[in-house]
């Protein structure tokens, strides 16, 4: 990457000033080399590499070296949204010492009267992930979904035959949340044929799923349930 010490791309300075603000809006100047699905979502490349890394939350990123560690955002959106989207170049530069990355886990909701925000967040997580892949980073795609109506778009841009990560933190809120979460994993299996599903959260039964699953202990489980520090 060709960036200034503050993480700003030198390519941005090559854009005429009268066009710069327009071109860099919503990271449009970072689309070079990207491919898109027929419905307009960035298309991620598959990842089938190492999974023995240690997980580090974006909120805790400054306390780790990044060596043999994977940076994740299975946390509240307000902790990473502006950094990952509104200041993507600088953030990328500042975390580039990490060996592995999960694509940002922007939230999807079940109870909104419109799908606009969910579709926007699917686009953004794919965009950031693909941008990182094109910079040469090792990136694990993450999948998420909202209500049943989100399955018309929520898997767009995910690669086939790849390791895919999902959050398992909200599946125990109620029976409906658990059922939709399990349904989402089966849809993911049917449509994308993942080679391995990484679940961030405590181990839980997933009926009728044939893909291998690897559970990754979340912060709460590690700190409180298992006594880790």
What is the count of structural domains for the chain?
Answer: 1
Measured between its terminal Cα atoms, the distance across the chain in Å is 35
Rg for the chain (alpha carbons), in Å?
Answer: 18
**Per-residue confidence (pLDDT) for residue 227, from 0 to 100:** 40
What range defines the domain where residue 172 resides? 10-225
Parts of the chain with a pLDDT under 50: 223-229
Residue 209 lies in a domain: yes
Confidence (pTM): 0.89
Q: Is 4 inside any structural domain?
A: no
pLDDT for position 184: 96
Local structure of 51: helix, strand or coil: coil
Domain-located, residue 219: yes
Given a contact cutoff of 8 angstroms between Cβ atoms, the answer to whether 96 and 90 are in contact is no
């Amino acid at each position: 990457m060709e960036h200034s010490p503050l993480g700003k791309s030198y390519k941005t300075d090559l854009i005429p000033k009268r066009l710069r603000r327009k071109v860099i809006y919503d990271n449009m100047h970072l689309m070079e080399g990207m491919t898109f699905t027929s419905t307009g979502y960035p298309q991620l490349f598959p990842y089938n590499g190492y999974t023995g890394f240690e997980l580090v939350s974006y909120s805790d990123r400054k306390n780790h070296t990044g060596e043999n560690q994977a940076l994740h955002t299975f946390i509240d959106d307000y902790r990473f949204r502006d950094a990952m989207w509104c200041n993507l170049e600088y953030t990328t530069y500042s975390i580039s010492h990490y060996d592995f990355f999960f694509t940002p886990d922007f939230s999807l909701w079940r109870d909104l009267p419109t799908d606009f925000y969910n579709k926007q967040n699917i686009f953004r997580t794919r965009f950031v992930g693909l941008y990182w892949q094109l910079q040469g980073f090792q990136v694990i795609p993450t999948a998420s979904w909202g209500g049943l109506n989100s399955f018309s778009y929520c898997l767009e841009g995910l690669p086939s035959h790849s390791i895919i990560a999902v959050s398992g933190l909200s599946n125990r809120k109620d029976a409906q949340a658990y059922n939709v979460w399990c349904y989402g994993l089966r849809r993911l299996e049917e449509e994308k044929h993942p080679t391995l599903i990484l679940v961030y959260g405590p181990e839980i039964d997933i009926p009728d799923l044939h893909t291998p699953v690897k559970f990754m202990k979340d912060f709460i489980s590690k700190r409180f349930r298992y006594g880790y520090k």
